[in-house]
Amino acid sequence: MAVGSGGTSSRSFVSEIIFSRLGNEHLLKASDAAIVSTSGRTAFTTDSYVVRPEFFPGGNIGKIAVCGTINDLLVSGAKPLYLSFGLIMPEGYPVADLERVIDSMAEECRKADVKIVCGDTKVVDKGGCDGLIINTSGIGESLRDYTEPYNIQEGDAVILTSDVARHGMSVMLARGELGFDGEVLSDCACLKDVFSAVENLNVKFARDATRGGVAAVLNEIASDSGKGFLMRETDIPMDENVGYLCDMLGFDPLAVANEGLAVIIVSEEDAEKALSNICACENGQRAAIAGRVEGKNVILETSIGGKRHIEMPAGELLPRIC
């Protein structure tokens, strides 16, 4: 059951596991580079994934690697087209686990109509790494530009496309270090449907709220644009159990990582239309208009009517969350 003991046989075994699941005319050619068609403006992104455990309720490292990179293209305003993947694994890694991971990658690519066109596999000694590490880079056709913070203006609406904090809490519980049972489903998902739903509306800016959560995204935008936000606690979508869990553990749910939640800033006029379009999507059912662009600071109006700053998360709350 060991992949990567070295030698031609194990290397071709890895190729078989991958090619049979992800194969397409580009990948199967196994050239040094894939040659693909693109138009004049291309979005290009990369992320490495080191999440532990590799499998958690609602996803695994392969699903996250594909969805995360596709989402990075979507939030930039691009149509995702092609992915690369770089797989690193320790010798002796269980084949069945590798197959599950690659199956998830293939499924998400199929759903998003994206192709993995080039890849690379490295097998290292057991001490080299403690499990799978996956890099996915992606290119897409840049159709709109959602990356320019100067486009936002006072009064624009802030839409959260899903309920907050599920991915971070899911992984934390899956680590089994808290001394109690239970599970939270990660929100890990590709947001292609959500971004299709707003493509004809006046979207000013978008970013997915991964490490550092919604708090980090809002503070980054504020820092880059010079504009602030007023968020309303009662309008922030959150699963009740996730809320209890954050309370109990002392986490600010706004600072916890998501893997299927984008912050989309839309003009005031288009806000309601955007929300209803997003809510009609499989991955946007719990979306909400949770605040607006206002002032210079990032402020939360609490459920009891007080106001507090939403701070930039100071440290990595949960290492290896993605």
Nearer to a copy of itself, 113 or 272 (CB): 113
Residue 36 CB coordination number (10 Å): 12
Does residue 73 touch a copy of itself according to CB under 8 A? yes
Closer by beta carbon to a copy of itself, 238 or else 321: 321
Strands 115-124 and 307-309: unpaired
Window of 68-76, 104-112, 158-166, 176-184 that interacts with a copy of itself by CB under 8 A: 68-76
- Among residues 85, 87, 98, the alpha carbon closest in space to that of 124 is found at 87
User: Considering CB under 8 A, how many residues would be counted as binding a copy of itself?
Assistant: 66
Ramachandran region of residue 123, left (φ > 0), alpha (ψ -120 to 50) or beta? beta
Q: Dihedral angle at the C-alpha atoms of 256, 262, 265, 267, nearest 10 degrees? A: -140
Separation between Cα atoms, residue 253 and residue 245, nearest integer Å:
9
Shortest Å, Cβ 61 to a copy of itself = 12
The answer to whether 207 and 86 are in contact (CB under 8 A) is no
Distance CA 229, CA 215 (A): 11
From the CB of 218, what's the least distance to a copy of itself, in Å? 15
Stretch that binds a copy of itself, among 115-123, 240-248, 249-257, 294-302 (CB under 8 A): 115-123
Please, what is the minimum distance in Å from the beta carbon of residue 128 to a copy of itself? 5
CA atoms within 13 A on the CB side of 141: 9
What part of residues 76-105 is at the interface with a copy of itself (CB under 8 A)? 76, 78, 82, 84-88
Name the residue nearer to a copy of itself (CB basis): 75 or 174.
75
Rg (CA), the chain: 20
Decide if residue 38 touches a copy of itself (CB under 8 A): yes
Is 122 an interacting residue with respect to a copy of itself (CB under 8 A)? yes
CA distance 61 to 49: 7
Q: From 67-75, 192-200, 279-287, 297-305, give the range in contact with a copy of itself by CB under 8 A.
A: 67-75
Which residue of 29, 110, 307, 309 would you call a contact of a copy of itself, by CB under 8 A? 29
Residues 144-173 that bind a copy of itself (CB under 8 A): 145, 147
CA separation for the pair 266, 45 (Å, rounded): 23
Please say which residue, 34 or 274, places its beta carbon nearer to a copy of itself.
34
Name the nearest CA neighbour of 283 among 147, 166, 110, 148: 166
The residues of the shown chain that bind a copy of itself, judged by CB under 8 A, are 6-8, 11, 29, 31-48, 50, 71-73, 75-76, 78, 82, 84-88, 117-120, 122-125, 127-130, 133, 135, 137-140, 142, 145, 147, 207-208, 312-316, 319-320
